[in-house]
Structure formats: C-alpha cells, structure tokens
Amino acid sequence: MTDIDIAGVRGKIVVRRWDPADPPLFVAVLVHGYGEHAGRYGHVATALNEAGAVVYAPDHHGHGRSGGDRALVDDVDRLAADVAKVVELANREYDELPVVLIGHSLGGMIATRYVQKQHARIAALVLSAPLLGGNPELLALAELDPALEVPLDPKTLSRDPKVGEAYAADPLVFHGPFHKQTLKELTATVARIAKDPGFGDLPTLWIHGEKDALAPYAVTKKAMAHLRGTIFEEKVYKGAMHEIFNETNQTDVIADVVEFLHRNVHSS
C-alpha cells in the first residue's frame, strides 16, 4: 500500500493506493463512510487487486489522516469534489483505464453526488448501504434544542462482534457524537439527491443489509426508486447489518461486487 497526499478542496487529503501484482485492468475508487477511514477497507482492496483493479481510497476531509475538524460533514458536495480530485489522480496515473466508484454509507451519498454533479464520467457505480434516504430518527436529533449527543453504536455495524470491537478500538475512527451541523447537512443532501437527476445508463449495483439500522433498507429503497437507471442491479442480504463488507457473509458480498464489475467494466 502507498500513501499519497493531495490538495483537496479544503486542505490535505491522504489517499491510500493498493497496487495489484499484475498490470491493472481498471481503477476502483473506494469512498468510505462517516466517522471512519479508508484503512478499514484493506480486505476489500485486496480482493479488488486480485480482480485486476488498482485501488485508490481517500480519507475524507475531517476523517482519518486527512485535515479538517473531526467528523464534521458540513458540505457533502465538497467531499464529492475531493473524490473528483482522486479520480483525476487515477486518470493521470492510469489514463487508459476505466474508473469505478464504490461508496459505502456516507460514501454512497458522496458517490451519488459525484454522479449528480456531473464530475468526470465513470464506468460503473457500486453503492453499499448508501445513506440516500437518510435515517429519519437520527436526522431528527438536529431539530432538538439542545441536540442529544448520540455517538454511532459499534454494535449496529455487523453481526460479527469483532467488527464492533475493532471499530471501538481504532484511534483513526471518530468516537464522539454527531455534530448538529453534520445532521443538518445530511438532511439537506437527502433533499438535493431527491431533486437532482438519477443514474441514467450508468451501470449501478446497490447492495444492502436487510437489518441495517443506520441506513434503513425501506427508507433507502424509496430514495433509490428515483435514482435507479436503465442498468441497475440490487442485492439485499438477509439478516445482514450496516457494514456488509464486514459482515459474516463478507466473502459473498465482495464476490458479488467483483462479478458485477467483471460484467460491466472493460479495459480499453
């Protein structure tokens, strides 16, 4: 793995790059979720390397080793603009390869805004438990005065208790409560997503856990009805929780993503 520092919209962004053993066939940009960092996706990157991808994964502004106030999400479109800078970096280093976006949770929201804001064309989109319809109970906290300080509960991430334990012990993960400004921005972004265009002919795979308490499936499904385009696939994993890349059936989940990308992404 190689670390690359780039100039983001509002300061330094640290990007991890995982290189495959053989010359890559495509580029995958991993877009992580709220409060976490790209380093938690090493196992996903390894599987994508084996599938022929060179993998880029930024720590968002305010997350991981990048600059900014910790876990303050005050402008999702600026985070999407940072992802666009990562795509630009990938295009400079591998200018003939197709690029795919893989976004989890908040990362799925950011990837969606990347597409809606018409940044550089990508070859495919994978959305893992995307925060597209929000979480009504969580977002409602922003309307309370004073707002309740509620941190993310690690027990809601996966059926595997070791995932929550590792999350709670990770010093690069933000363990404090949601900022009120973050909740307001997520609410506003949900509204923008509902107003702006869908995915058109962009090949898209949506994967979700049936028992996701953080990005509830039923709420996300309503938002996805507006976004889904002409080349759209959906997989819901029975009993799975929010972090399906870290679930007890993660091998099957990652294999489904790789199979989708092999069918829909071709090197030039």
- Hey, which residues are catalytic here? 105, 212, 242
Torsion (CA) 32, 162, 182, 76 in degrees, nearest 10: 10
Angle (CA) 7-12-13 rounded to 5° is: 85
Closest CA to 107 of 10, 26, 28, 19: 28
Query: What gap in Å lies between CA 80 and CA 78, rounded to an integer?
Result: 5
Are 131 and 109 in contact by the 8 Å Cβ rule? The answer is yes
Provide the b/e sequence for 26-42 (b: ≥16 CB within 10 Å).
bbbbbbbbbbbbbbbbe
Query: What gap in Å lies between CA 118 and CA 107, rounded to an integer?
Result: 17
* Token pair of 128 as six digits: 């893992």
Query: What gap in Å lies between CA 27 and CA 48, rounded to an integer?
Result: 9
Residue linked to tokens 């990837």: 111
Q: Helix 76-93 and helix 180-195: axis angle, to 10°?
A: 70
Query: What gap in Å lies between CA 162 and CA 143, rounded to an integer?
Result: 34
* Token pair of 268 as six digits: 């030039």
Residue linked to tokens 């053989």: 22
